Amino acid sequence: MMYPRLVESDFETEKEVIINEIARSEDQPYNLAFRRMMQTYFGTHSLGHDVLGSRESIRNMHIEQMRDYWKRRYAANNIILAIAGNFNWEHVVRLAEKHCASWHRGESGRQVAPYEPAQPINDIIVDENLKQQIMILAMPSVDLNDPEYYAANLGGSILGDSDGSRLFWNINQKGLAESASAGIWSMEGTGIMILEANSTPEEAPHVLKLLRAELNSFLEDGIYEDELRRAKDKWISSLVLSSESTFARMRSLANDWVTEGRLLSVDEEVERIEKVTTEEVMRTLRRFPMRDKQVLTTLGPLSEKELLA
């Protein structure tokens, strides 16, 4: 990867592979709806660009663009080497120096800035061939480096994690939707709270109202201590269990260096989670215009008039 051949014939072959991947992704309704939500929410912002690209952008790309990108970004000062497991540190350092000392320097980091949509948006994609209605509500939330990142994520878990949350009990477990969930997706410079549900067309208008009603109740009435305790226990249990996986620990080491610029121990992360209070959760989430800048993306047989009736 650090010194690829970047032969034009290989490059052209790979372009066709990516175009086929785009076609396959379009055959998966949820993936299609989620990508459309990102494009609608972020607009011309770089996060609105599809990771796979488009058929046109891939076909129009030429080999010199990739070679130039490699020179700028695949550089020693833009790489983190993370290792976990049974190894000899001095030996690893010697290997890294032997094999990586000649790597060139290039650009590092990126320009990031806070982002929120200017106004609420409804993006209703009608596909009469589908038997279910996919609904995704996105709204502003915390970025990766927000000091109240842990509070926001605990709030997202209380509202809509996959089991035991408010959306789970009040929508999913009542048989109104195949799935109903919520969570925070934090990135550099920006973040979004996502509420989503997948239901029959008959139940979809009611389920969409319930998603918004549960969010309103959450923001207005706050949360209970026992809800926060359960959310903390779930997160801490997952964190401790994952730390026993060598591969997961290696991934977390790299992530720590990207987000914190240092290593973060399991004990320190548990302490951050435990320190969060119910007041902090609500203060954090109420900072953002969650009700005023909602982006609704739906995919299914219902029109906007039918869905929002």
User: How many CA atoms lie less than 13 Å away from 296 in the CB half-sphere?
Assistant: 17
List C-alpha distances in Å: 116 to 140, 141, 294: 6, 9, 10
- Residues of the chain falling short of pLDDT 70: none
pLDDT of residue 306: 97
Give tens-digit pLDDT for 128-159. Answer: 999 999 999 999 999 999 999 999 999 999 99
- Which domains are seen in the chain, by residue range? 8-100 (3.30.830.10), 121-307 (3.30.830.10)
Q: How far apart are CA 42 and CA 185, in angstroms?
A: 14
pLDDT of residue 35: 94
pLDDT of residue 55: 94
pLDDT of residue 114: 87
pLDDT of residue 309: 82
Q: How far apart are CA 191 and CA 155, in angstroms?
A: 14
Question: pTM to 2 decimals?
Answer: 0.92
- Provide the token pair at 110: 């990126």
